[in-house]
Amino acid sequence: ARREGGVVGGSGGGGDNDDDRDFDRDGDDLKLSFLYIIDNIISIRNSVLSIGSVFVFAYLKKGVAQS
């Protein structure tokens, strides 16, 4: 009887641990996806800025060449 109780208790504990681990993993996934989105926004902004600066540079160069 005692062994059965131990097994049941052990499986219950295992279940709890699994649940906790799942919750932690979900939290990490949310955190990672949030960081990933921020990272994407920053990289998109940087690429837009670099493309923009190239256009501005070409425009200024053209303006200087014309004048």
HEC string of the chain?
CHHHHHHHHHHHHHHHHHHHHHHHHHHHHHHHHHHHHHHHHHHHHHHHHHHHHHHHHHHHHHHHHHC
pLDDT in tens, 1-22: 555 555 554 444 444 445 555 5
Indicate the pLDDT class of residue 41, thresholds 50, 70 and 90.
very high
29 against 32, higher pLDDT: 32
Higher pLDDT, 54 or 29: 54
Share of the chain above pLDDT 70, in %: 57
State yes or no: pLDDT of 53 exceeds 60.
Answer: yes
